[in-house]
Amino acid sequence: MGKVVNLGVFVADTAYRAARQPKMGETILGRSFVLGPGGKGSNQSVASAMAGAETHFISRLGADAFADIALATWAKAGVHPAVTQDPQSYTGAAYIFIEDATGNNAIIISPGAAADISNADIDANKALIESAQVFITQLEQPIPVALYALQLARAAGVTTILNPAPAAQLPQGMLGFCDYVTPNESEAEALTGLPVTSVAEAKVAARRLRELGAGAAIITLGDKGALFHDGTRTVHIPPFKAGPVVETTGAGDAFNGGFAAALAEGQDPVEACRFGSATAGISVTRPGTAPSMPARAETLALLNG
């Protein structure tokens, strides 16, 4: 199997379900509480490790109970942490309020030690990045550091993937260091200024992402599948149905982790997209994010079924 190196963030998701949010100074009773692993980079690393890739994750944690959750999550999935622990800071956490009647949510994220990820972390892992088949990052850590890492990986001939999430304005020219950019509909719209509500509109936005410098654009479209465009091929990958949908929160991370693993293995990019789509198709049938990521054998069974 190939090697995937991921730069990103871990946060502990603390999810509270209640009838409404409390007013300032008020205390109310909640209906439920769930504590679990989160962070796009961490989730994607779990997905690629579960898919069979040798996966290394570059990040920063505190030295606390939430860090213990991160390390246990990675150990179970087979992710190799390239992580600095800072006892003077804390591991990132997210407060997630879920309105019981509607399922709507409000979120506060405190990245903690991960906010201090710097170019020094990239330099310290230079040899690791250069030894990878695939390097992938997102936009939850400081964006200038993501750009620095993409530049280093590209200079070493490593295949680079940017999952531009959460949506943010990118430095000019950043997409030029990305062999693949993998936004969802809203992120593609934020990057291009073009609406993305259908496969046809995704094709137009994908062409624009190529004009902005990306080698290839892969726009994930939820229940409409994904759209691949590299200037030579434009392919719509239908979604894979693995059962009733339970939760879609981790679908994008499942796709990216599965896609990265398949690329690192040497699969054709369109086939790697199909592998990523099948990974996502299984993940949505399970609750949670990292805990929903399927094993390689499950994904292959769905692909070949």
Q: How far apart are CA 47 and CA 291, in angstroms?
A: 9
Q: Is 64 a catalytic residue?
A: no
Pair of tokens at residue 31: 């209906």
Q: Which two tokens stand for residue 208?
A: 């624009």
**Within 13 Å of residue 22, how many CA atoms lie on the same side as its CB?**
9
In this structure, is the dihedral angle defined by the CA atoms of residues 218, 191, 249 and 158, taken in order, positive or negative? positive
The alpha carbon dihedral of 224, 247, 16, 63 has a sign of negative
Q: How far is 117 from 46, CA to CA, in rounded Å?
A: 20
Catalytic residue among 13, 121, 230, 253: 253
Residues assigned a catalytic role: 253
